[in-house]
Structure 1
Amino acid sequence: MVVLFLSIIAGCSNRIVNEEQKINVQKRIHDENNYKDFKVISDNDEVQKVQEIVFDTEWENAKVQMESPADYRFIFQYKNPNIEAKVVSYKLWISPNNDVVEIVMKDDAYAILNKENSSILIEILAGENLPN
């Protein structure tokens, strides 16, 4: 009985934390290094999927110089005052072939996502579909 009760509480507490998260997405304006607020993702499942992709990515410790400013920038935001989380910004580029995305985290970590994760991520963050 105690185990069941603790399982229910743990499940509920995870749900509350997840509901307190959102992702702010900015889109680059033209070819400049200017961005505008594009969308806020607050759907629990979408936030969780983006987190899974980003947090499970194998990052390279590298400072990269890209040819153009990022196509999108995004950050995870926690609305729960009990969570002490650092705000980490991510910059995202759609590859020239439009088939994968490249991400830079905090300007010192770099990753290229596989086609499947690239497609999922860009669909959630930008509402775009990458060619298959």
Structure 2
Amino acid sequence: MSLKKFKYLIAFIGAISLFIVGCSNLIENEEQYIKVQKRIGDQNEYEDFKEITDNEQVQKVKDILNYIDWEITTVNMIRPADFRFIFQYKNPEIEAKAALYELWISRNKDKVTLVIDAEMKYIQLDTGKSAELFEIITGEKLSELK
């Protein structure tokens, strides 16, 4: 094989590799927002509460959720979640399986519990992470709840 053909082969393999990497990261790099719902009444009924579209806030929530040690277990909570939220893509053409996060406020109003029922994941966050997540999700301070 001549050196010229070898250079073309290397360039072709490089171009194909870049294309494959670009396609695999397409969904990951697509902008997302968080749709939040709030429970109304004492039943398992929810209404749209807010949408978090600020990329920095969305990333903070992702960071909190990605760096916690989820417990894999089935839980039966005594009441429906206070809030629930889901990540959605801003581009309506992208369809992806999304996890529904359910959020409960503790009795002392100092911590939150999260459950991903479909994945059997459960966690009670410490007071710092609870306060940070709650404020982003609701726009309210956990410490100021009555």
Partner of 2:141: 129
Runs of 4+ in 1 over 2 A off after TM superposition: 79-85
- Quote the offset at 1:57 in angstroms: 1.2
For 1:83 and 1:36, the matched residues in 2 are separated by: 24
Q: What stretches of structure 2 of length at least 5 have no aligned partner?
A: 1-21
Unaligned residue ranges in structure 1 (runs of 5+): 1-9
2:74/2:117 contact within 8 Å kept: no
Per the TM alignment, residue 81 of structure 1 is displaced from its structure 2 partner at its CA by 6.5
Cα drift, residue 37 of structure 1: 0.3
Of 58, 77, 85, the residue aligned with 1:74 is 85
Task: Report deviation, 1:128.
Answer: 1.7
Q: Which has the higher helix share?
A: 2
- The number of aligned residues is 119
- Where 2:84 maps in the other structure, the secondary structure is strand
Percent identity over paired residues: 50
**Distance (Å, rounded) in 2 between the aligned partners of 1:83 and 1:29:** 30
Aligned-partner Cα distance in 2 for 1:121–1:56: 13
Q: Secondary structure at the match of 1:116?
A: helix
Q: CA RMSD in A?
A: 2.4
TM-score by length of 2: 0.73
**1:37-75: CA deviations, max 9, x gaps?**
000000011000000001111100111111110000000
- The TM-score normalised by the length of structure 1 is 0.81
* Structure 2 counterpart of 1:114, from 98, 109, 126: 126
In the alignment, which residue of structure 2 is the partner of 1:91?
Answer: 102
For the residue of structure 2 that corresponds to 1:66, the secondary structure is coil
